[in-house]
Structure 1
Amino acid sequence: MKQTHRDFLATLQQFIPEERLITDPLRTLAYGTDASFYRLIPQIVVRAESENDIAKIVTLANQHQIPVTFRAAGTSLSGQAITDSVLIQLGDGWKGYKINKDATQISLQPGVIGGQANSYLAPFNKKIGPDPASINAAMIGGIAANNASGMCCGTAQNSYRTLKSMKLILADGTQLDTGNLHSINRFKLSHKALLDSLDALGQQTRANKVLHERILHKYRLKNTTGYALNSLVDYTDPIDMLQHLMIGSEGTLGFMSEITYRTVDEHPNKASALIFFNSVRTTCDAVAILKKTPVSAVELMDRAGLRSVEDKPGMPDFMRELGEDAAALLVETRAADPADLATQVETIKASLAGLTTTRPIEFTTKPEEYAKYWAIRKGLFPAVGAIRLTGTTVIIEDVAFPVEQLADAVHDLHQLFKKWHYNEALIFGHALEGNLHFVFTQAFDTQEEIDRYDGLMEDVANMVVGTYDGSLKAEHGTGRNMAPFVELEWGKDAYQLMWELKELLDPNAILNPGVVLNRNSHVHLENLKPLPAADPLVDKCIECGFCEPTCPSRDLTLTPRQRIVIWREIARLEAEASGPKADPERLAELRKEYQYQGTETCAACGLCSTTCPVGINTGDLTRSIRSQNNEKHTKLAQWLADHYGTLAKASRVTFAAADMTHGLIGTQAMTAITGTARKLSGGRIQQWTPSMPTGAPKIKAPANAANALATTGSSAAPKVVYLPSCASRTMGPARGDSDQTSLADKTEALLRKAGFEVIYPAAMDNLCCGMPFQSKGMFAAADSKSAEIEKVLLEITENGTLPVYSDTSPCSLLLKDKLDSRIKLYDTVDFIDEFLLDRLIFTATSEPVALHITCSATRMGQADKLKRIMSACSTQVVIPDQITCCGFAGDKGFSTPELNASALRTLKGAVHECTAGYSTSRTCEIGLSHHSGIDYKSIIYLVDRCTQPIMSKTASTEENNRIQTQKS
Structure 2
Amino acid sequence: MLAPSYQKLKDILSESIDPKRILINPLLTLAYGTDASFYRLIPKIVILAHNEFEVIEIIKEAKKLDIALTFRAAGTSLSGQAISDSVLVVATHGWKSFELLENNQKIKLEPGIIGARANTFLAPHGLKIGPDPASIGAAMIGGIVANNASGMCCGTAQNSYQTIADIRIVLNDGTILDTADAESVADFKKHKTALIQEIESLRDTIKNDETLYHFIKNKFKIKNTTGYSINALVDYQDPIDIIKHLMVGSEGTLAFISNVTFKTVIDEKFKSCSLLIFNTIQDACNATILLKSAPVAAVELLDRESIRSVEFDPDAPEYFRTLPESACALLVECRDNDLDNMLLKQLKVRLEIESIPTYSEYEFTSNPKQYYFNWKARKGLLPTVGGLRKNGTSVIIEDVAFPLPHLAEACLALKDLFKKYEYQDAVLFGHALEGNLHFVFSQDFSNQNEVDRYEKLMAELADLVVNRFNGSLKAEHGTGRNMAPFVEKEWGTAAYEIMKRIKNIFDPNNKINPDVLINPDPKAHLKNLKPMPETHAIVDKCMECGFCEPHCVSEGLTLSPRQRIVIAREISRLEESKEDPERLAAIRKDVTYQLDETCATDGLCALACPVYIDTGKFVKEWRANELNSGNKKVAAYIGSHMAGTTAILRVGLKMVSFFHSILGTNIMTALSNGFHFITFGKVPKWIPEMPKGANKINTK
Give me the TM-score of the superposition, normalised by structure 1: 0.70
The 1:360/1:25 distance shift into structure 2, 3 A limit, reads same
Partners of 2:320 and 2:48 in 1: CA distance:
49
Which residue of 1 is the match for residue 643 of structure 2? 645
Partners of 1:634 and 1:684 in 2: CA distance:
17
Post-superposition Cα deviations, 1:436-455, rounded to whole Å, max 9, x if no partner, equal 00000000111110111011
Contact 2:309–2:388 (CA<8 Å) still a contact in 1? no
Deviation at 1:185, TM superposition (A): 0.8
Which residue of 2 is the match for residue 19 of structure 1? 20
**More displaced, 547-556 or 142-151?**
547-556
Gaps of 5+ in 1: 704-968
Contact 2:596–2:619 (CA<8 Å) still a contact in 1? yes
Provide the secondary structure at the position in 2 that maps to 1:399: strand
Which residue of 2 is the match for residue 601 of structure 1? 598
The 1:688/1:265 distance shift into structure 2, 3 A limit, reads farther
Which residue of 1 is the match for residue 561 of structure 2? 560
Amino acid at match of 2:11: A
Amino acid at match of 1:26: L
Provide the secondary structure at the position in 2 that maps to 1:626: helix
Contact 1:606–1:618 (CA<8 Å) still a contact in 2? yes
Amino acid at match of 2:293: K
Which residue of 2 is the match for residue 742 of structure 1? none
Post-superposition Cα deviations, 1:41-90, rounded to whole Å, max 9, x if no partner, equal 11111221211111121122222221111111111110101111111112
The 1:644/1:105 distance shift into structure 2, 3 A limit, reads same
Partners of 1:516 and 1:11 in 2: CA distance:
31
Contact 1:309–1:379 (CA<8 Å) still a contact in 2? no
User: Mapping of 1:566-965 within 5 angstroms?
Assistant: 566-577=567-578, 582-632=579-629, 633-660=631-658, 662=660, 671=669, 673-701=671-699, 703=700
**More displaced, 522-531 or 287-296?**
287-296
Post-superposition Cα deviations, 1:854-881, rounded to whole Å, max 9, x if no partner, equal xxxxxxxxxxxxxxxxxxxxxxxxxxxx
Deviation at 1:662, TM superposition (A): 5.0
The 1:612/1:319 distance shift into structure 2, 3 A limit, reads closer
Which residue of 2 is the match for residue 793 of structure 1? none
Partners of 2:86 and 2:398 in 1: CA distance:
27
Contact 2:74–2:92 (CA<8 Å) still a contact in 1? no
Provide the secondary structure at the position in 2 that maps to 1:78: coil
Partners of 1:587 and 1:133 in 2: CA distance:
36
Post-superposition Cα deviations, 1:868-911, rounded to whole Å, max 9, x if no partner, equal xxxxxxxxxxxxxxxxxxxxxxxxxxxxxxxxxxxxxxxxxxxx
Amino acid at match of 2:584: L
Partners of 2:668 and 2:249 in 1: CA distance:
55
Provide the secondary structure at the position in 2 that maps to 1:608: helix
Contact 1:537–1:621 (CA<8 Å) still a contact in 2? yes
Aligned residues: 698
Contact 2:383–2:545 (CA<8 Å) still a contact in 1? no
Which residue of 2 is the match for residue 417 of structure 1? 418
**1:62 counterpart = 2:63:** yes
Post-superposition Cα deviations, 1:625-659, rounded to whole Å, max 9, x if no partner, equal 21122242222222212221122223333344444
The 1:183/1:547 distance shift into structure 2, 3 A limit, reads same
Which residue of 2 is the match for residue 211 of structure 1? 212
Gaps of 5+ in 2: none
Larger Rg: 1
Which residue of 1 is the match for residue 328 of structure 2? 327
Deviation at 1:596, TM superposition (A): 2.1
Partners of 1:9 and 1:699 in 2: CA distance:
56
User: Mapping of 1:89-128 within 5 angstroms?
Assistant: 89-90=90-91, 92-100=93-101, 102-128=103-129
Amino acid at match of 1:419: K
Provide the secondary structure at the position in 2 that maps to 1:323: coil
Contact 1:464–1:470 (CA<8 Å) still a contact in 2? yes
Deviation at 1:661, TM superposition (A): 5.0
Partners of 1:657 and 1:7 in 2: CA distance:
51
Partners of 2:685 and 2:150 in 1: CA distance:
47
Deviation at 1:91, TM superposition (A): 5.0
Deviation at 1:547, TM superposition (A): 1.5
Deviation at 1:92, TM superposition (A): 2.4
Partners of 2:127 and 2:660 in 1: CA distance:
51
**1:443 counterpart = 2:444:** yes
Partners of 1:602 and 1:589 in 2: CA distance:
20
**More displaced, 618-627 or 518-527?**
618-627
Partners of 2:103 and 2:79 in 1: CA distance:
37
Amino acid at match of 1:544: C
Contact 1:278–1:322 (CA<8 Å) still a contact in 2? no
The 1:651/1:420 distance shift into structure 2, 3 A limit, reads same
Deviation at 1:562, TM superposition (A): 1.5
User: Mapping of 1:505-544 within 5 angstroms?
Assistant: 505-544=506-545
Which residue of 1 is the match for residue 382 of structure 2? 381
Deviation at 1:270, TM superposition (A): 0.7
Deviation at 1:247, TM superposition (A): 0.6
Contact 1:553–1:602 (CA<8 Å) still a contact in 2? yes
User: Mapping of 1:46-445 within 5 angstroms?
Assistant: 46-90=47-91, 92-100=93-101, 102-445=103-446
Provide the secondary structure at the position in 1 that maps to 2:271: strand
Amino acid at match of 1:640: I
Deviation at 1:691, TM superposition (A): 3.8
Post-superposition Cα deviations, 1:937-965, rounded to whole Å, max 9, x if no partner, equal xxxxxxxxxxxxxxxxxxxxxxxxxxxxx
Partners of 2:102 and 2:166 in 1: CA distance:
17
Post-superposition Cα deviations, 1:658-708, rounded to whole Å, max 9, x if no partner, equal 44555566656655554454445433333444443344444444x3xxxxx
Provide the secondary structure at the position in 2 that maps to 1:394: strand
Provide the secondary structure at the position in 2 that maps to 1:485: helix
Contact 2:135–2:379 (CA<8 Å) still a contact in 1? no
Post-superposition Cα deviations, 1:481-526, rounded to whole Å, max 9, x if no partner, equal 0001101111111000000111011111110111001111000001
Contact 2:73–2:92 (CA<8 Å) still a contact in 1? no
Contact 2:92–2:111 (CA<8 Å) still a contact in 1? no
Partners of 1:379 and 1:204 in 2: CA distance:
43
Partners of 2:75 and 2:417 in 1: CA distance:
30
Contact 2:68–2:86 (CA<8 Å) still a contact in 1? yes
Amino acid at match of 1:162: T
Give me the TM-score of the superposition, normalised by structure 2: 0.96
Post-superposition Cα deviations, 1:143-178, rounded to whole Å, max 9, x if no partner, equal 110011111111111111111101100011101111
Deviation at 1:548, TM superposition (A): 1.6
Provide the secondary structure at the position in 2 that maps to 1:637: helix
% same residue: 49
Amino acid at match of 1:190: H
Contact 1:62–1:508 (CA<8 Å) still a contact in 2? no
Partners of 2:650 and 2:9 in 1: CA distance:
55
